[in-house]
Amino acid sequence: MTQHRIAVIPGDGIGREVVPAGLEALEATASRFGLGLEFDTFDFASAEYWQRHGTMLPSDWEETLRGYDAIYFGAVGWPEVVPDHVSLWGSLLQFRRTFDQYVNLRPCRLLPGVRGPLAGREPGDIDFIVVRENTEGEYSSIGGRIFEGTERETVLQETVMTRVGVDRVLRFAYEQAARRPKNHLTSATKSNGISITMPYWDERVAAMQGQFPGVRVDKFHIDALVANFVLHPDWFDVVVASNLFGDILSDLGPACTGTLGLAPSANINPERDHPSLFEPVHGSAPDIAGRGIANPVGQIWCGSMMLDHLGHPEAAAHLLGAIEDVLAYGPTEAPLTPDLQGKGTTAELGQAIADRVRTRD
Ligand code: NAI
Ligand code: MG
């Protein structure tokens, strides 16, 4: 039996409510497919830990987490207790950097039974993934202020694209496109306006194309691309983008397919030198925390992404299929949460999905 060790970090607020539902679904999937998943839960990266210790993480967090195959993360942030920049920079962003999780991956898929915001779209019409560069690009610390407070006051911040950094995220995106049925890669650019870095990005996209002869490649300027996400979401399969463009697309994409509670994401180190991290897109939702009504689907879907990353695509597809089945039953037949017009609780919806994992073909 393949054994995988998973570090579980529920974090704050609804993270602590949706993670147990996610684990239940993962356990059901593991037993169905004969996978050995071992979970160790940690209390750090939370406001409670910060209150007790004055830091978000123990000093040996890196050694502790390094031995795991993946990190299954809820959400961090409780602004009443810890300022958001402290909780985020003190935990999640440390994981992403230290473990060189240079790919941020977000599936955008319209699920059955979900009323998306785009009129006339059916499940199957929207099914693409956004691959965002997660470590360099526009989000660099190179720059500064000079002549502050004078008429010559000047600020500069440089975009940094390294060949290593660009090529490795492009390679990941090409590989994703090569394994998906449509074999289609779209690159986000702006080489008409940003005349140095973006033409370089385009050049690297073109340079790699020869290695993936089965993949059809196109590119759009970012302004046209965001319009087409809304107007023609069916045009896309794998969309790859620099850090800033990817940040925007990876929020817009899932927003085109339904509520925040459904959206999963992954921060991936494709070489597997370090653990990758799987977390829902949403935060800790203090406004509904403690009421047991948070939608666990985003967290459960993260479990499917994690299984895929760990090398179990069939188990991953089975779990996603169980989510789709239960959503398709609708709010009268299934205990869907209030954000899906239902009356179910987090635990009930989690349980229904885990049950479906056990019973579906
Ligand atoms: P949020 O995502 O926590 O909540 C935004 C809105 O969506 C709220 O009205 C919430 O009730 C609703 N919502 C979110 N997830 C839901 C779910 N699963 N089911 C039903 N409704 C859901 O974003 P917000 O309020 O801006 O941030 C709250 C805290 O979370 C802050 O401390 C923030 O820093 C943190 N945060 C953490 C993230 C992470 O851990 N990666 C990501 C985003 C925010
Ligand atoms: Mg964002």
Q: From atom 42 of ligand 1, which residue's Cα is the shortest distance away?
A: 283
Q: Which atom of ligand 1 is nearest to the CA of 285?
A: 3
The pTM (predicted TM-score) of the whole model is 0.95
Instruction: Dump the DSSP string for 240-266.
Output: EE-HHHHHHHHHHHHHTTS-GGG-EEE
Pocket test of ligand 1: the residue of 284, 299, 301 to mutate, having most ligand atoms within 8 Å of its CB, is 284
Q: From atom 38 of ligand 1, which residue's Cα is the shortest distance away?
A: 283
Task: Tell me how far apart the alpha carbons of residues 247 and 93 are, in angstroms, rounded to a whole number.
Answer: 15
The interface predicted TM-score of the complex, written ipTM, equals: 0.98
Q: From atom 25 of ligand 1, which residue's Cα is the shortest distance away?
A: 285
Pocket test of ligand 1: the residue of 250, 282, 343, 345 to mutate, having most ligand atoms within 8 Å of its CB, is 282
pLDDT in tens, the chain (361 residues): 679 999 999 999 999 999 999 999 999 999 999 999 999 999 999 999 999 999 999 999 999 999 999 999 999 999 999 999 999 999 998 999 999 999 999 999 999 999 889 999 999 899 999 999 999 999 988 999 999 999 999 999 999 999 999 999 999 999 999 999 999 999 999 999 999 999 999 999 999 999 999 999 999 999 999 999 999 999 999 999 999 999 999 999 999 998 899 999 999 999 999 999 999 999 999 999 999 999 999 999 999 999 999 999 999 999 999 999 999 999 999 999 999 999 999 999 999 999 999 999 9
Ligand with smallest separation from the Cα of 15: 1
Instruction: Decide if 184 contacts 215 (C-beta within 8 A).
Output: yes
**Closest to 189 (Cα-Cα) out of 181, 197, 178:** 197
List domains and CATH numbers for the chain.
1-101+271-361 (3.40.718.10), 127-256 (3.40.718.10)
Tens of pLDDT, residue by residue over 115-138, are 889 999 999 899 999 999 999 999
Task: Tell me how far apart the alpha carbons of residues 215 and 217 are, in angstroms, rounded to a whole number.
Answer: 6
Q: Which atom of ligand 1 is nearest to the CA of 280?
A: 41
Q: 288: Cβ below 6 Å to ligand 1?
A: yes
